Amino acid sequence: MDDSKARAVTSLAILGGTPAFPEKIHVGRPNVGNRERLIERINKIVDTRYLSNSGPFEREIEQRICEMLDVRYCAAMCNATVALEIAVRALNLSGEILVPSFTFVATVHALQWQQITPVFCDIDPRTHNLDPRKIERLITPRTSGILGVHLWGRPCPIDELQAVADANGLALLFDAAHAFGCKYGGRKIGGFGRAEVLSFHATKFINAGEGGAVVTNDADLAARLQLMKNFGFSGYDNVISIGINGKMNELSAAMGLTNLESVEEFARSNRENFETYQDHLDGIRGLSLLRYDERNSPNYQYVVVEIDARELGLTRDQLVSVLHAENILARRYFYPGVHRMEPYRSCYPEAGLHLPETEALAGRILVLPTGAAVSSTDIQKICAIIRFAVEHSRKILEALPGS
């Protein structure tokens, strides 16, 4: 793509050219650590025939997470969605919980699944996180908590949210699915609020294939979490509470432990990728790369750009079409906002009226491929395609069917 001047716009795959990448380039390609270490652990699992139910690796990963995040207790679970459900249940929350709509749908499903009404609060367009100035007016006598999401690993305004929670007697908890290893005010994410929920899904910074965890400094809560994730069993034949199957199996724990050993390497390669994007997208008017604050030790798992269609000459969705045709599977996370997905769209048809920033942002955001499996050369090629498409936006629009 260096020969952008000489190239004809019809060489773009969307206009009939050959895709720039023969294989699809994904946003969520998993980071995988040392293969030998993983196989060693898997061999151990097979040798001992201990596959699940408080196995040694599940226990070890809980301990390891506590050490790494400076928290007292960790309950490893099968995924973050179930972990969120168990957390709100163990905290005895009910009625209504304030939550952003600009998040992955699982954050909100976890509440609805527990028959708790999600009350959507708008975000601050600068941070993409809950806007604490908009929280208070949404509190009603039925409100029991606030569920903040550290979106893209950038921490919520935790102090402000905690102040609102304290003033109104609400539980504050966090969906920290994106924020493993990140900090707020010099402290690691994990120890804030009543509890924080981590995801170890394949696409996350640290993955266990599928996995999640609830971390907390509250000993009673931690005991309830351990009970609830294991059907309420307290020893053989002794069920002492409601529970579900939320356990992390040994294969997942083995994968998670192995990947935790590579946390620094993943952070480094994500950061290098981010910097390559930064260098090569620089100066494209109408496209701005979401910045991370180094003081918060970001994990750079998400490379997010915001599109101003008027300046760029292409809408976000037109750019997505250009990229997808080239086999670059950029994603529109978290379009169109949870309030516009079912069942929320039908249950709360008016919600959008109070979410102007969420609605606007959901139309502007694009997430680009990164992770250890995406090379610097790939990224340079992706950026060159974006630049080329933007330079030729008018011709692309003229040539596109229906224009």
Binding region for ligand T4K (CB under 6 A): 26-30, 79-81, 103-104, 106-107, 149, 175, 177-178, 199, 201-203, 212, 329, 333
The distance of closest approach from Cβ of residue 189 to ligand T4K in the complex, given in angstroms and rounded to an integer, is: 13
Pairing verdict, β 328-329 and 25-26 = parallel
For the chain, report the end-to-end CA distance as a whole number of angstroms. 26
Q: Which is nearer to ligand T4K, 322 or 390 (CB)?
A: 322
Min dist. Cβ of residue 269 to ligand T4K (A): 16
Nearer to ligand T4K, 26 or 229 (CB): 26
For residues 99 and 344, what is the distance between their CA atoms, to the nearest angstrom? 13
Smallest gap from Cβ 105 to ligand T4K, in A, equals 8
Whole-angstrom distance, CA of residue 246 vs CA of residue 269? 32
Q: Which is nearer to ligand T4K, 17 or 30 (CB)?
A: 30
CB of 126 to ligand T4K, least distance (A): 19
**Of residues 9 and 255, the one with the C-beta less far from ligand T4K:** 255
CB of 106 to ligand T4K, least distance (A): 4
Closer to ligand T4K by Cβ: residue 44 or 324: 324
Question: CB of residue 213 vs ligand T4K: minimum separation in angstroms?
Answer: 10
The candidate with the shortest Cα–Cα distance to 13, out of 312, 324, 317, is: 324
CA distance 204 to 29: 9
Beta strands in 5-163 (DSSP E): 25-26, 73-77, 96-100, 117-121, 143-149
Which residue's Cβ lies closest to ligand T4K?
A: 28
For every residue of 215-242, DSSP letters joined together read: EES-HHHHHHHHHHTBTTBSSTT-B-S-
**Three-class secondary structure assignment of 97-118:** EEEECCCCHHHHHHHHHCCCEE
Closest CB to ligand T4K among residues 101, 199: 199
